[in-house]
Each structure stands twice: as structure tokens, then as C-alpha cells.
Chains A and B, each alone.
Chain A
Amino acid sequence: MLSIKNLTVNVNDKQILKGINLEIKPGEIHAIMGPNGSGKSTLSHILSGKAGYTVTGGSVTYQGKDLLEMPPEIRAREGVFLAFQYPVEIPGVSNIYLLKAALNSIRKHHGQPEVDAMDFLTLVKDKVRLLEMDEKFLYRAVNEGFSGGEKKRNEILQMAILEPKLCILDETDSGLDIDALKVVAEGVNSLRTANRSFVMVTHYQRLLDYIKPDFVHVLANGQIVKSGGAELALELEEKGYSWLEDSKAAV
């Protein structure tokens, strides 16, 4: 699904990622954890194609194609979905309009006709129920005046409708209370399939109580310093990050 090899990335001539290697197979859930400033967000931004980063070395291959060559919208149409840490408010565009525009862009990309209006409405309403959202949300402007939890739920709603192959969740748990976290996690879990992969970028172990990862990687100073199974997250919760940062410094 995704293969990152020796990736190095600069921001304003400062090296942020210093040789990342990561293999993600279909259906796997990988959690990327690490302290503030470790490069977690940079990694998710690079994968989704945000401007402002310079790739200085290495490669990212997505389904056999060079991901870094694709503009952000092509990545999205090919099935890469970034759930934002801070979803953007867009007054003047309704949620349902954006969903329709996005879904039809994907269909056009794959040579399919526009989605039928009635089918679309049925699909959207099903997903809205799944995420315990109010239907009225669909007709409100994108994220405008939404609470933190509503915004995150809205990201998962988009994900549920666009059916991506690779989902990148950037600090999805930040700003969520426990009830909202559960709803979001249930939403994500319901989207798990044998072919869909997830990358969860998170600072805390909390989210991983609800979405169980197959692999946990610790990112520190721009490198993956330790990888393991779900149990690694628990160890981190107990010990913090400093022992890993220190061990790396000793290498």
C-alpha cells in the first residue's frame, strides 16, 4: 500500500525528517507517536501534499506509484485521505455540497458518471446516522461554528463517504472529550476493511484504547527510534518519551 524509504524533508532549510522508513500493508493500522516537534505532523502533511516542505531525499511509493509526484487532489482521488488536526471552516459552502463535489471528482477521475442525486442522499444520510450526527449538519457551512468534536466527526464523515484506501488521521484525538472520542473511534473502526490502511498520528495513547493499532512507531527528532506492537503504546504511556530520546542520543 505505502512504502516510505529513507525520506528526508526540510522546512526552511532545516531538516525535520531525517530518514524515515515505513512499510504499510493493506488493512494495517499504524500509529505514529512522538513528542512535540518530533516531525509527526510533517509526515502527515508530506503524505497529503501540503506545500511548504522540501523533500531532499528518499521516496514514497503508494500503490506502486510515486506519491510525491502527485498534486494533493490527485492523491486524494487515488484514495489518500487526510483527516485534519484543525479542519478548516468554509463559510458559504455547505457540507453536502463539498461532499458531492469531492465524491464526483473521485468518480470522474476513475471514469465513472456523476453520482445519482437520490443514491447520494441515501448514502450520506446512512453515514450521518453512523456517526450520530444531526442531518442538519449537512446543510450547514463546512465546519463553520462547529465545536472541536463536531469538526473531527465531520472529518470522519467525509472519510466514510469518500471511502479512501489510505487514511491519515492527524491528531484526531486532540480537543475531543471522551464521548466524542468514542464516537469518532467507532466511526473509524466501522471503516476498517481488509484493504483499507490507517496511519494515526497521535501524541497520546488515549486514542489507541479505542482503535487498536497493529504497529506503533515512535518518532523522535525526525527518525523512527522504536517500532513495536500495540503494547509499545502502553509502555510509552507509562514511561513517557524521554527514555527513547535519550537512548537515541546514546547511539
Chain B
Amino acid sequence: MTAATASRYTAEYSSIAPTLPGQNLPWLTALRQDALTKFSAQGFPSLREEEWRYTNVSAIEKKLFSSSLIGQAQEPVATELLAAYQLPDAWSVVLLDGHFCAELSALNDLPETVSVMSMADALAKQPEIVERYINQAVTNDEHNFVAFNTAWFTDGLFVHVPAKLVLEKPIQVVHLNTKNDALASTRTVIVAEQMADIKVIETFVGLDIAYLSAAVTEVFVGVNADVTLYKMQCESNKAYHFGGIYVKQAKHARFIHHNFAFGGLLARCDIHTDLDLASECELNGLYLGVNRQHIDNHTRINHLKPHGISRELYKGVLDDRARGVFQGRVIVAEDAQKTDSQMNNRNLLLSNDAEADTKPQLEIYADDVKCAHGVTVGQLDEKSIFYLQSRCIDEETARNMLTFAFANEMVDKIKIKSVHDQALEQVLIRFPQEGVNKEWL
């Protein structure tokens, strides 16, 4: 059944295939063919799959989102939108409807040894390096959104930072979506070699139209390297978003992820990370849902070797008829002794019709570990409200202030000021501002 609807996409594939980057690379053609075969057989994931039981993607199947071709005229309104999100203090790559746009990007003065370029460029200029990493942190078998992405990706970002290099500015990739009913399928590979230190921001924005944004990112954190990755998902509220972030951490590597899920009618993000000996990861997430938004976040932390540390905190604020889903898995392999893991998910429901589904899972095969998890779904704390009232603040303002504070705790974790301010702005747009005086923040 799903295969039948998927055939609308597969039927179109033969006309799209010749326009995809890396045509001359047999290994890539084979990879895409494998992905296409898998996708054709089963289509998009269905509710019957355990990992997808809360995510109904049938709307994506019913519609046909088509890849747009390069070179369409830019609308001024899109430039305006970009200006609001493009960070002034970062190297930036702009992907306009799934294609690199050189005029809008800013890549001046990059250190010579560092590669920051579009995926299409990387496949043309250094295919042998791309081949070493692509589809290594995730495979087409993960699920059919990944297979779909592998077959369909038109472009993306490629970052390679050599050993011991600390990049002084962050790298931003802006996924800018401007075409109605379009598909933007992009693939990103980020490689930080031994002891390198980089910060990357993935920003997703779009005009007030319906489109499908499917972005898969693979991250390779080298021995004793640091990667901080931010995801600012500010898609249009009519858009569909699927994002997959798959991370491989080498020994002593540190990976920090900040996941801000603000937009999208249906948005899902999967984040998986594999930890080697004594590596550390921190996964932070904030999802804000209003109206009929459905926001899904799935994380998987794989402790494969001893002495790993993982910290995870996801918070959700859901209003109106919005629905938020959190599925968090922590897997501690038999070999991963002395693992120290904490997972928390907290949800604040602001309306009787809002829904939070939360499913933390610990799978522990080692016997000497420290693992904790906690989940809450509820309303504001009455003690905190009284505390604020006793500090001269009326009850309604106190409630608004606490709702803001609940979300702002995650914003406060952002260390890059321009990114922090952008996230703060998004939180303030979405929630009652009566409780918060922006000027005093």
C-alpha cells in the first residue's frame, strides 16, 4: 500500500536522476540505486513500525513534493527571510530549495586547510574524501526516510576540518525553502579530525507555504575532538520536515547538540550518536508546539565502549492542539562499563487538547554503570507561582514568566550570542509576551 503511493515518487525519479550531483561516480550511483530499491519496495515508514508509531507521514505520501531544479529566480521576500536568519559572524552556506546558492553564501577567509563547501562541489572536487564518509554514520537500512534522502539528495553541506584546528567562527548552513510543493532533500557530512574544534549551525526556514524538507546529516568527531552542532528548525507552519543526524564519536570525542524545533506542521528529527571509549555527548532539545503542529524527536545514544558520559535534556511546551513526541533510547553495550548516563524529558502542557507522548528507554547490557532517566508531563509548579507572587508579580504574569523560563532554560545553554538571540526571539514570538519584558532580559 505504501509502496503504491511511494511509486508516485519513484515514477518521477528517472527524470530527476540525471540532474543529481555525482553522476560520474559509480560508487554513488550504486548507493543511490540501492536506496531507491529499498524505498520503492516499502515507501515511507508506516505507523506499524515501532519507531514510527507516533509519526503519521501519510500526508507526505498523498502529496507529491518534487525536487526543484537549479537556477530559479530568487524572490525578494526570500532574501528578506534569509536576512533574518543568516548569522553575521559565521561562514555560511545557503541551500536555496535544496541547491547551493553562491551569491547568498559567505565563505571568505576560510583557513586554507579547511573545506566548507556544498555537497555538489565536494562530489566534483574531492569525491574520494566524500566517499570515505557518506553513508558511514547511517545506512539506507536505517529507515526509508534515510533511503529516500540518499536517492534524492540534490546538494548539501560538506565540512572537513583537519587535526588540531580550532575554527574561530561557526559555520552555518541555511536551508531556505521558497517553492510551493517542492522537495528539498539535502545531505550533509561534517568531519572534525583529531583534536579539532568546530561549531556548526543548521538553520531551516521557509516561506509560508507547504514543502517537504528532508535533511540527513552525518557527523564524524575525531579522537579528542569537539563538535557542537545547533539545529534551528524554523520551518513554515505548513511544511513537513524530516531531519536525521547521525554521529560517530571516536575516543575521547565530545559532541554537543542543541535541537530547537519550532516550526513545521509535521516535523521529526532523529539524532543518533555512537560513543567510543571515554567520549562524551550532550543532547539538548526544546520543542514548542502551537495550533495543530506535530513535533517529534527521537534520540538514540549508543554507549559502545567504557567510560562514556551522556547527558540529555529535552523540554517541550505544547499549546492548543499541538502534539509533541519524545522517544529517547540509551543503549549501553556489554563492553561499555562505567558508563554514566542521564536522560530527562519534561513537558509543559498549556491546553487541555495538547498532547505529549514520551518514551524513555534504557537498554543496559553492562553491569557496572550509572544510568538515570526521568520524565514529567504537567503544568506549572504552584510553589514557583506563589514565590513570584510574593515578589510582587501578579499570577497571570507569573504564569507567563514561568512558561517562558521553562523554555528559556534551554536557550540559555547556547554559547554563541547571535544564535542565542535568534532562539530567544523564536521563543518570544511563540509564547505570551505579557509575562516577559524583553528589554529587561
Q: Which residues of A contact B (CB under 8 A)?
A: 48-51, 71-73, 75-77, 81-82, 84, 87-88, 90-94, 97-98, 100-103, 105-106, 109, 141, 158, 162
Contacts and interface: CB of A to CB of B under 8 A. Distances in A.
- Shortest Cβ-Cβ A-B pairs, 5 listed: A92-B405, A92-B408, A105-B392, A92-B409, A72-B389
Interface string B257-289: 000000000000000000000000000000000
A49 B386 CA distance: 9
Contact of B392 (A77, A93, A97): A77
A71 B404 CA distance: 23
B384 A101 contact: no
Nearest to A109: B392
Interface in B373-415: 381-384, 386-395, 397, 401-402, 404-409, 411-412
Contacts of B393: 73, 101-102, 105
B382 A51 contact: yes
B352 interface: no
A49 B384 contact: no
B392 A90 contact: no
Nearest to A103: B392
B11 interface: no
B395 A73 contact: yes
Given A91-B405, A92-B404, A92-B407, A73 B394 contact: yes
Contacts of B392: 73, 76-77, 101-103, 105-106, 109, 162
Contacts, number: 83
B437 interface: yes
B405 A72 contact: no
22 contacts: A71-B395, A72-B386, A72-B389, A72-B390, A73-B389, A73-B393, A73-B394, A77-B392, A84-B387, A87-B387, A88-B381, A88-B383, A90-B402, A92-B405, A92-B406, A93-B402, A93-B404, A93-B405, A98-B388, A105-B394, A141-B412, A162-B391
A48 B390 contact: yes
B441 interface: yes
Contacts of A94: 441
A50 B389 CA distance: 9
Given A90-B405, A92-B408, A162-B392, 7 more contacts: A49-B389, A76-B391, A84-B387, A93-B408, A97-B440, A101-B401, A101-B437
A90 B392 CA distance: 16
A97 B441 contact: yes
Contact of B401 (A71, A75, A93): A93
Contacts of A92: 404-409, 411-412
Interface string B359-378: 00000000000000000000
B390 A49 contact: yes
Contacts of A101: 391-393, 397, 401, 437, 440
Contacts of A106: 392
Contact of A76 (B384, B390, B397): B390
Nearest to A143: B387
Interface in B404-441: 404-409, 411-412, 437, 440-441
A141 B388 CA distance: 14
Given A73-B393, A93-B401, A51 B408 contact: no
Contacts of A141: 405, 409, 412
Contacts of A93: 401-402, 404-405, 408
A90 to B, nearest CB: 6
A71 B390 CA distance: 9
A93 B409 CA distance: 8
A171 B387 CA distance: 16
B257 to A, nearest CB: 20
A166 to B, nearest CB: 13
Contacts of A71: 389, 394-395
A87 to B, nearest CB: 7
